[in-house]
Homo-oligomer: A and B are copies of this chain.
Amino acid sequence: MLKKNDKIYFSPNLSLRERASFETGIKLGALYHILCGIPISSDEKIIKSIEKGIEAAISCQPYVKSVKIELIKDKIVGNKSTPFDYDEITGKIIQAELLINYEDIEVLAKINWIEEMQYPLMYIEKISKIE
């Protein structure tokens, strides 16, 4: 049997909460860069399919308990009235919510476009020990 001990590679003085925070960041960074540049239109069915597809992909990654992507329909330009009338995913339309479970730590994190920062902020909203 293959040994799958990833812990030997990590600093021994990294806490469980720090490791969980690190794992959360990896998934948000991945999710964001997978989404960027994907063609999209304002059609509800198209949006849903893309959301479900990338959710399914991210759910395969380590320690992901759940992931929810909501692309902001109102900011998506283009309804295919002409061949060139569609959009591409950027940080301005990405909203996502991720639940990570590493050992007994649970982390709830989000991506949201913050208007006053003009930035797609990734942040940890809650981190707690599962009782």
Contacts and interface: CB of A to CB of B under 8 A. Distances in A.
A10 B116 contact: no
A50 interface: yes
Given A9-B114, A22-B22, A124-B22, A80 B60 contact: yes
Interface of A: 2-4, 6, 9-11, 13-15, 17-19, 21-34, 36-41, 45-46, 49-63, 78, 80, 82-84, 86-88, 90-91, 109-110, 112, 114, 116-119, 121-127
Nearest to A59: B46
A6 B84 contact: yes
A123 B55 contact: no
A2 B82 CA distance: 11
Contacts of A88: 36, 90-91
Contacts of A15: 17-18
